[in-house]
Amino acid sequence: LVQAGAPPGPLFSSFYKLIQTEHIPPCDIAFYFLHWLTDLAGAVPVPLSTYSGSEKFVLRFPQAVLSSFVASFPYLQRLSHTPPVALFEDFLSHWWPPPLGPPPEGTEAIALMR
């Protein structure tokens, strides 16, 4: 859900409008992102490589980024019934690392959690 610090409104506004007008169910949203992930995995062909499968993810993609993206699927599918800004705020609160203590509160909380 965190795309180079992009605000959630501009990041998801068009997608959210489509979801709302077409009444797209959560399972279809999750499938869309899973399909996008597999497209990304196969984006760099390696026809003569000794490796098979998703070489891009195994060798060239930071494991933490891939894990975070896959773990965000349950949040992304909630776009069917949750506005992007509220979803992003909930995402940040739930992903706050426990070693840092409780998530920040107040008007500056979102900025601190990003």
Angle at 34 between CA 29 and CA 37, to 5 degrees: 130
> Of 25 and 85, which is predicted with more confidence?
25
Predicted TM-score (pTM) of the model is: 0.70
Structural tokens at position 20: 């709302």
What average pLDDT does the structure give for the chain?
A: 83
Q: Rounded to whole angstroms, what are the CA distances from 26 to 2, 23, 100, 102?
A: 20, 9, 32, 30
Question: What's the mean pLDDT in 94-108?
Answer: 91
